[in-house]
Amino acid sequence: MTKQDFRSRDARLGFLLVLPAVVLVILVVILPIISGIQISFTSQRVVGSEYEFIWLKNYFELFEDKQFIASLGKSAIWVLANGFFQTLAALLIALLINQPFRGQNFVRTWIILPWAVPAAVTAILWRWMFDASSGILNTTMKGMDLVQKPVLFLANPDIAGMSLTFVNSWRYIPFLTIIFLASLASVPEEEYEAAKVDGASPWLQFKSITFPNLLPTLTVLGLVGTLWASNVFDIIWMMTRGGPGDATTTVPVLMYDMAFYGYNISKATAGAIIFLFILIIFTFVFIFANRKQFVVASETFQDLSK
């Protein structure tokens, strides 16, 4: 058997292994997007109803819709707040539990638990804890004379977004912490030993060794976290339904409300398509601007998988 035969057989095997994933992506991603673009060009109100093609009318109306423009701004704030808080908290926790202490393995194993809790359970749990009359948070704060009146965590438009950000971060921080711990394991111990010999302080060790080694992971998480946070719907809908008023109405919440409560599925689909293209453009720009870090991150993950 010649070398060319081996290459040909490997190529066919690789194609057959990848084929199911490609077919799945076409069926559950590409075709629905194409169907969504078609629906966005129509006047269809509900699924299965009669319609006529109105082409770009839905898009023009959305660009003049103040509520839609406001939802884009709220989505941007939501993404930035979640990204900053989750990354900072996860990094600090990872650095803390990466230090040797008694029970380290137990903490590393069970810290993932909040991430495994279903979103519906998380929403019910925190709605109860945030409750103004019987919630454990208000009861505790009133018992310690920290507040005179109950704090309306989900009913006050000024803090409802922060409350949701906290709950969503509570879910995802454990997962990000595990990623950071895996990345910290790839940092050569010899670099820390050499820095200690030179008398480097803990802050200098973090600045010159830890952070540069974590930068590729931070870059990847920056992209993945942005896409995840942009599409969060379940927690927001189950806890505030976009309220009070429209204080927490991000784009996914507004599109769902418009499609199934406003009975305008074609306009909601047009909004979703606009949001999709914004995310695609962001993804390409982000990857192009940080392409070197993505290459390093890929090499790091390959080393960890060996």
Q: How confident is the model at residue 256 (pLDDT cuts 50, 70, 90)?
A: very high
* Beta-ladder partners of 53: 42
Q: How confident is the model at residue 90 (pLDDT cuts 50, 70, 90)?
A: very high
Picking from 70-74, 141-145, 278-282, which range would have the lowest pLDDT averaged per residue?
141-145
Handedness of CA 248, 250, 253, 254 (dihedral sign): positive
CB-based contacts of 107, cutoff 8 Å, min separation 6:
97
Length of the chain equals 306
What pTM value is reported for the model? 0.90
Structure tokens at 188: 């050569």
Q: How confident is the model at residue 127 (pLDDT cuts 50, 70, 90)?
A: very high
What Cα–Cα distance (Å) separates residue 279 from each residue in 60, 159, 190? 20, 27, 41
Q: How confident is the model at residue 304 (pLDDT cuts 50, 70, 90)?
A: low
Mean pLDDT of 198-217: 90
Residue 5 has pLDDT above 70, yes or no: no
Q: How confident is the model at residue 7 (pLDDT cuts 50, 70, 90)?
A: low
Residue 139 has pLDDT above 60, yes or no: yes
Average pLDDT for the chain: 91
Q: Are 248 and 74 within 8 A, CB to CB?
A: yes
